[in-house]
Amino acid sequence: MSRIGKKPVELPSGVTATVSGQTIEVKGPRGTRSFRATDDVTLALEDNTVVVSPRGTSKRARQQWGMSRTMVANLVTGVTQGFKKELEIQGVGYRAQVQGATLKLGLGLSHDVDYVWPRGVTVTAPKQTEIVVEGIDEQAVGQVAAEIRDWRKPEPYKGKGIRYKGELIFRKEGKKK
């Protein structure tokens, strides 16, 4: 039995959910999100909670049970608080700035990198060495942060590059004479 799947998802005040078949739509102060569950689980709205239950004892039904419950919980978190990823830039001359809907990155390449992020995600640069990615869709926020990080991953010798805030980079010792 799934320990995660057994827990019902509480709907805080100001959040409404509607279930129609295998689709759940959650509306909150930050926007509207929806999720379509597989046929292996059942979505039900009871009182002020969403309950996810498996439709059988097959391995696939048990796998989808916990995953579907987590997806519904992420919808509720997204429309109430939103999701946020913070990136740090380390390296001499490395910088970031936002111009309109474009993130300009100076990463020691022969050219500046212009990154245009998708709708539904907000990117800000409070400092030249910090990037904040925010939105109501956890997958989209993580994808944008990963694409920005891919331009210059942190390297283990000097630690230069773009890293997640709080990420530990295992440092290596350089060549000895």
Under DSSP, the state recorded for 120 is T
Tell me the C-alpha distance between 55 and 48, whole Å: 22
Q: According to CATH, where is 3.90.930.12 located in the chain?
A: 3-80, 83-164
Tell me the pTM.
0.87
Burial status of residue 42 (CB atoms within 10 A of its CB: 0-12, 13-18, 19 or more): middle
pLDDT tens across 71-91, in order? 999 999 999 999 999 999 998
Q: What is the CATH T-level fold of the domain 83-164, as seen in this structure? A: Outer Surface Protein A; domain 3 (3.90.930)
CATH class of 3-80: alpha beta
Percent of the chain surpassing pLDDT 90: 81
pLDDT tens across 102-160, in order? 999 999 889 999 999 999 999 999 999 999 999 999 999 999 999 999 999 999 999 89
